Structure 1
Amino acid sequence: MILDDGSETLLATAESMEEELASATEKEGSTPVFRAAGGPLGGLASTIAGCAGGVIGYDAILSILEKRVSYWALVKFLGGKIGPGLAISCVAGAGGALATYMGW
Structure 2
Amino acid sequence: MPSTSPGAGVRGIDHVGVTVPDLQAATAFFIEALGAEVLYDSLAKGQPPQEGPDLQRRLRFLPGSSIRAMRLLRLGNGPSLELFEYAAPEQRPPSLL
TM-score after normalising by structure 1: 0.23
More strand by share: 2
TM-score after normalising by structure 2: 0.24
The structure with more radius of gyration: 2
